């Protein structure tokens, strides 16, 4: 049975620490630790054999936080997942390359580059949360079998 394929990019240590520090100051519940901050590039329910990921990304990929959204997984869940929507054409391009070259699947109509900040943030008014106005720097890309329990 195919496990599917997951690809993500991780932040430079300095960038991750700055992101964590910023959101800690705004009292976000259950904030994801700096070493776990990432952006999902691919969540394919089809296994992508021999997928090639970059490892250390040269040059790095830069993104800006565009806005926030509350997501739920599963959709009927009561947990509020706080995500920062990223403005990053490079991640969109990378996602599309994986779909074309490896025949990867995607569960949604559109890929939205994002960085999850909390999987259970409680009730917060995201319209009052200031945007992180520094560049987010991604430096490492990896792939692994998809965890279908997610």
The catalytic residues are 38, 40, 114, 116
> 47 and 58 in contact (C-beta within 8 Å)?
no
CA Rg value for the chain: 15
CB-CB contact of 70 with 29 (8 Å): no
How far is residue 67's CA from residue 136's CA, in Å, rounded to a whole number?
14
Map tokens 């969540």 to a residue. Answer: 43
Characterise 50 by phi-psi region: left (phi > 0), alpha (psi -120 to 50), beta (else).
Answer: left
CA 77/CA 5 separation, integer angstroms: 24
Name the 3-class secondary structure at 87.
Answer: strand
């Amino acid at each position: 049975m195919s496990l599917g394929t997951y690809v993500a990019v991780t932040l430079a240590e300095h960038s991750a620490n700055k992101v964590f520090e910023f959101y800690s100051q705004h009292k976000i519940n259950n904030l994801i630790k700096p070493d776990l901050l990432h952006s999902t590039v691919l969540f394919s329910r089809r296994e992508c054999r021999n997928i090639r990921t970059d490892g250390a990304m040269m040059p790095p990929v830069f993104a800006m936080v565009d806005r926030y959204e509350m997501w739920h997984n599963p959709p009927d869940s009561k947990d509020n997942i706080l995500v920062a929507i990223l403005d990053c054409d490079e991640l969109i391009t990378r996602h599309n390359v994986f779909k074309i070259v490896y025949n990867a699947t995607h569960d949604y109509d559109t890929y939205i580059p994002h960085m999850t900040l909390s999987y259970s943030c409680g009730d917060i008014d995201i319209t009052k949360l200031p945007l992180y106005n520094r560049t987010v720097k991604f430096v490492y890309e990896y792939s692994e079998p998809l965890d279908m329990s997610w």
